[in-house]
Amino acid sequence: MMLSRVANSIYWMSRYLERAENVARFIDVNTHLMLDLGLSVEETQWYPLIATSGDDEDFNKRYATADEKSIVRFLTFDDKNPNSILSSIYRARENARTVREVIPVEVWEKINELYHLTQAHSRKRSVEALQAYYTEVRQSGTHFAGMMINAMSRGDGWHFARMGQLLERADKTARLLDVKYFLLLPRGEQVDSPYDNVQWGAVLKSVNALEMYRQEYHSINYRDVAQFLLFSKLFPRSVRFSLDYATVCMEAICEQQPNCAALNDMKALRTRLMEADATALIASGLHEFIDEYQLGLNRLDQSVYETFFKD
């Protein structure tokens, strides 16, 4: 079993990189969605991105308006927002720096390169001027994952890194689904309308799911999108897939621990998800289910800390 300090740094390095990639992905897709819908400046919807991040309380305290300029700054370069891209990449770099001896050198170099790229773009304010930067952050996440897969031994370090990435992904996919379903819920006559379907298509694009979704379903509608993003066993950004493989990682980490509390908590959360069904959830309250699931993830975060990282 590796030192708790090392395990903690690798776990959070991976989570912060996944977080930065997801924020860049959401901004990029939201920009294209507004262009696709032909919305005017007054009609644009930036605030749901804050709701997706879960930092709306912090944003509302410090910003007077929720326009493109303030939200792009808050999500991208605000160093007081612990979940901005800048903060996430800075923290990923600090964690990587402390474990340079146990991660592939290419991973450290890529994170360092991404940090300096972020500093170089930090004076830009419009989403238009930042498109190339967001693309680079997204691609860096893919490169990081590829380097870890191809250059890291499958020991505890790998499993902590992979588990951190997957738990962050499970959290963000559920938040994204909840925001579209709950905050952007259309009026009755708009359900399953072309406008509604374009928005659901944007949700799928934001997690690179559109092509894989179309291979399973003929049309885009909220019932099938919820089913796919929550319960697909095969799509790597679904909540089910993320929890399945995070459990595999934790089982490997806990191999020598007969009664691993974090593993028990993760299995309980996964079982709750496996027993659910999108059609029944939509009828009984999808938002309430996701809310409860997010609380379960928070409890699991605490359990991971208590089991592996607490001195």
pLDDT at 274: 86
Contacts 24+ apart (CB under 8 A), 213-220: none
Could you read off the pLDDT of 117-155 as tens digits, one per residue? Answer: 999 888 777 778 888 899 999 888 888 888 888 888 899
State the Cα torsion 145-151-155-160 to the nearest 10°: -20
Could you read off the pLDDT of 155-214 as tens digits, one per residue? Answer: 999 999 999 999 999 998 988 887 776 655 555 555 666 677 777 888 888 888 999 999
pLDDT at 40: 60
The label of the residue with tokens 């912060």 reads 16
| % of the chain beyond a pLDDT of 70 | 91
> How many CB atoms are located within 10 Å of the residue 181 CB?
18
- Residue 47 vs residues 56, 82, 87, 309: alpha-carbon distances, Å: 8, 18, 20, 35
Structure tokens that stand for 43 in this block: 């009609």
- Closest of 66, 63, 67 to residue 81, by C-alpha: 63
- Residue 171 vs residues 52, 103, 177, 212, 311: alpha-carbon distances, Å: 10, 25, 10, 20, 26
Tell me the domain boundaries of the chain: 4-309
pLDDT at 84: 94
pLDDT at 185: 54
Q: How confident is the model at residue 223 (pLDDT cuts 50, 70, 90)?
A: confident
Q: What span, in angstroms and rounded, lies between the C-alpha atoms of 19 and 83? A: 7
Q: What span, in angstroms and rounded, lies between the C-alpha atoms of 299 and 288? A: 17
> How many CB atoms are located within 10 Å of the residue 92 CB?
24
Tell me the backbone φ, ψ of residue 186, rounded to 5 degrees.
-75, 165
Mean pLDDT for 83-87 is 95
User: For the chain, what percentages of helix, strand and coil (3-state, to nearest 5) are there?
Assistant: 75, 0, 25
Residue with the larger pLDDT of the pair 223 and 46: 223
- Closest of 188, 114, 106, 178 to residue 148, by C-alpha: 106
- Residue 285 vs residues 54, 282, 290, 295: alpha-carbon distances, Å: 20, 5, 9, 16
